[in-house]
Amino acid sequence: MLSEQELIAILSELESDKIERTASENNTDKFSEAICAFSNDFPNHKQPGYLIIGSDDKTGKIVGLTITDKLLKDLAAIRNNGQILPQPSLTIQKYSLLGGELAVVEVFPSPIPPVRYKGKVWIRVGPSKAVANEAEESRLSERRAAHIRNFDSSPAFGSLVSDINIELFKLTYLPNAVDAEILAANHREIKPQLASLRLYDAVNDCPTYAGILILGNNPKFYMPGAYVQYVQYIGETMDSDVLNETEFSGDLLSMMRQLDLFVKHNIEERPVKISSLQETIVKTYPSKAIRELLNNAVMHRNYESNAPVKFYEFSDRIEISNPGGLYGSARPDNFPNQNDYRNPIVAEALKIMGYVNKFNRGVATAQAELTANGNLPAKFTVDLPLHFSVTIYKKQYPTGDK
């Protein structure tokens, strides 16, 4: 982050394409567009850009705003609200200078551009910002190949565009991912459209692993562990008899729909005996909690492993586990407050299609749902390097003859 001396120096750089100033303190759209543009780093500075709140755009002078905690929290919320995809990397700092207070958002270039805000790709064009045209989007997509760090953004060598369900892409994914106005003016062929959403690698002329996962006709062919295995046991251990076993696989969008329906109709409500002659239907588990924790498992798992996500139901609990432990900046001592994304494009797809409302809120949402339903809090195993698991305890009801 900038020192006070560095901040004072750049306030007067009125023509810089690395700085945006604003006197507004509540224009979330303007803030988000600026963050999106700096994330794309179209000039390729490979350095952070700065959104400065409390400074006049034309003169650079400090306008005397009071930077409140609410404003700082609202700025921080932009990172996790899922409107900017993939998720931006930023820091926020409050400064108190002679002329007044400033809030400075330092935005780091994304390694996997293009970045979109509400379906539009914003870039810096000199000292102003604009929506990228097709040629500019293409340049951002090509630049991504040199910065590949995540498995899901890597090329799935040997795969073809025919491995992608193009109808699913055109009719379902694309209208949700790209602004309608941009989409109406888009006359590109399929490969560039897929590439602009990080689902196709234009340099290697093949889908990315994310493209295969999200829209593939047969993701398991390229990633044998890309499925969810559900097993229901009659007792409390895996030594007991199996009542039901189901595999959920296929493209990610279809698989998540199948899981949603299955949880709603087969897990959430169950008959419970309350006397020798009477049963009642009870909400044993809140479906939203299970959904959130399954989403997390699918989103954060290691897809290079051949093991599936395991969704096991016992007579007293549900266990969900996935290959791959905590990732990146997420550690046992800061979970669940700190999060990181092993599969940022998969995370983006789940947000686009409505399976995730806000990033880094899944665990808190699940715990709140469990508490509201009368279940014990979920228990997480987070200290193992090769897998992550959560246990959800069944709601207990009094039984007996009346």
Reference 42, options 117, 108, 107, 139; nearest CA is 139
**Please, what sign has the CA dihedral across residues 108, 2, 333, 288?**
negative
- Residue 245's Cβ-count burial label (10 Å; 0-12, 13-18, 19+) is exposed
Say how many Å lie between the first and final Cα of the chain, rounded: 68
Instruction: Give 113's DSSP letter.
Output: P
Distance (Å, whole) CA 65 – CA 102: 7
**Please, what sign has the CA dihedral across residues 329, 333, 339, 342?**
positive
All structural domains of the chain, each given as residue ranges with its CATH number in brackets, are 4-130 (3.30.950.30), 148-217 (no CATH), 228-393 (3.30.565.60)
For the sheet with 49-53, list strands across it. Answer: 19-22, 49-53, 100-108, 89-97
Distance (Å, whole) CA 175 – CA 31: 24
- Residue 139's Cβ-count burial label (10 Å; 0-12, 13-18, 19+) is middle
Instruction: Give 120's DSSP letter.
Output: B
SS3 79: helix
Q: Please provide residue 53's backbone torsions phi and psi, each rounded to the nearest 5 degrees.
A: -105, 120
Distance (Å, whole) CA 238 – CA 232: 9
| Distinct helix (H) and strand (E) counts, the chain | 14, 18
Enter the pTM of the model.
Answer: 0.80
Determine contact, residues 152/208, Cβ cutoff 8 Å.
yes
Q: Which residues contact 171 (CB under 8 A, 6 or more apart)?
A: none
Render each residue's pLDDT in the chain as its tens digit; 402 residues: 889 989 988 888 888 999 999 999 889 999 999 999 999 999 999 999 999 999 998 888 999 999 999 999 999 999 989 899 988 999 999 999 988 999 999 999 998 889 999 999 999 998 899 999 988 988 888 776 555 668 999 999 999 999 999 999 999 999 999 998 888 887 889 999 999 999 999 889 999 999 999 999 999 999 999 999 999 999 999 999 999 999 999 999 999 999 999 998 888 666 666 666 677 677 889 999 999 999 999 999 999 999 999 999 999 999 999 999 998 888 899 999 888 889 999 999 999 998 887 788 899 999 999 999 999 999 999 988 889 999 999 988 665 443
